[in-house]
A and B are shown apart, each in its own frame.
Chain A
Amino acid sequence: MKKFVLYGLIGIGIIGLIGGIWWLFAQPAGDGHGPSFFISTGIFLLVFAAISLRWMHETAAALLGAATVWLVHYVGGAFFPALHIINFEESMSFVDWNVIWLIMGMMIFMAMFSETGAINWVAFRAFRLANGNAWLLGIALFLLTALISAFLNNVTAILLLVPLSIQIAQTVGVHPFAYVIPEVLASNIGGAMTIIGDPPSTIVGSHLELSFVEYLANMAPIAILCMIPFLIVISWLYRHEFAGAKTEFSPALVSQLENDARITDAALLRKAGVVGLLMMIMFFTGDFFGGMPPAVIALSGAAILVAWVRPDMHRMLHEVDWTTLIFFIGIFVIVGGLEAAGVISWIAGNIGNLAGGSLTLATILMIWIPGIASGIVANIPFTVAALPIADFLTSTIPGAENIVLYWALILGADMGGNSTILGSAASIVAVGLLAQAGYRLSFGRFMRDGVPVVIVTLLTATIWLLIQY
Chain B
Amino acid sequence: MGKILCATRGGEASYPTQDAVIALAKEQNDELAFLYVVDISFLNRTAAPLVVDVESRLEKLGQFQLVMAQERAASQGVASQTIVRRGHLQAELAATAKEIGATIIVLGGPLGPNAVFEEAALKTFAGKIEEETGIKTRII
Interface residues of A (CB under 8 A from B): 54, 57-59, 62, 103, 106-108, 110-111, 114-115, 153, 155-156, 159-160, 163-164, 166-167, 170, 175-176, 250, 252-253, 256-257, 260, 319-321, 323-324, 326-327, 425-426, 428-429, 431-433, 435-440, 442
Contacts and interface: CB of A to CB of B under 8 A. Distances in A.
B67 A252 contact: yes
Contact of A170 (B51, B64, B70, B115): B64
A110 B46 contact: no
Nearest to A175: B12
Contacts of A435: 9, 42, 116
B58 A170 contact: no
A103 B49 contact: yes
Choose among A54, A115, A437 the residue with the greatest number of B CB atoms under 10 Å from its CB: A437
Choose among B51, B114, B115 the residue with the greatest number of A CB atoms under 10 Å from its CB: B51
A114 B9 contact: no
Contacts of B48: 155, 321, 324, 425-426, 428-429
A86 B10 CA distance: 53
B45 A170 contact: no
Contacts of B71: 250, 252-253
Interface of B: 8-14, 38-40, 42-54, 57-58, 60-65, 67-68, 70-71, 113-116
29 contacts: A110-B52, A114-B53, A155-B46, A159-B54, A163-B60, A170-B68, A250-B71, A252-B70, A252-B71, A256-B63, A256-B67, A260-B63, A321-B49, A321-B50, A321-B51, A324-B50, A327-B47, A425-B48, A429-B42, A429-B48, A432-B43, A435-B9, A436-B42, A436-B62, A437-B11, A437-B65, A438-B14, A440-B114, A440-B116
B49 A156 contact: yes
Contact of A442 (B42, B46, B70, B114): B114
Nearest to A261: B60
Choose among B10, B14, B43, B64 the residue with the greatest number of A CB atoms under 10 Å from its CB: B64
B64 A256 contact: yes
Q: How would you classify the secondary structure of chain A's contact residues: helix, strand, loop or mixed?
A: helix
Closest 10 CB pairs of A and B: A438-B11, A432-B42, A425-B48, A327-B47, A438-B9, A58-B47, A111-B51, A159-B52, A155-B48, A260-B60
A326 B116 CA distance: 32
A156 B52 CA distance: 7
Contact of A438 (B10, B57, B63): B10
A110 B39 contact: no
B65 A54 contact: no
A437 B10 contact: yes
A114 B51 contact: yes
Given A159-B54, A260-B60, A437-B9, A54 B47 contact: no
Given A163-B57, A253-B71, A438-B12, A324 B64 contact: no
A252 B63 CA distance: 12
A167 B64 contact: yes
Nearest to A260: B60
A186 B102 CA distance: 45
B63 A436 contact: no
A436 B64 CA distance: 12
Contacts of A54: 45
A429 B43 contact: yes
Choose among A170, A425, A426, A436 the residue with the greatest number of B CB atoms under 10 Å from its CB: A436
B64 A253 contact: yes
A156 B43 contact: no
A438 B107 CA distance: 13
Contacts of B114: 439-440, 442
Contacts of B64: 167, 170, 253, 256-257, 260
Choose among A54, A160, A429 the residue with the greatest number of B CB atoms under 10 Å from its CB: A429
Choose among A114, A163, A442 the residue with the greatest number of B CB atoms under 10 Å from its CB: A163
Contacts of B11: 176, 437-439
Given A163-B58, A436-B39, A439-B114, A155 B49 contact: yes
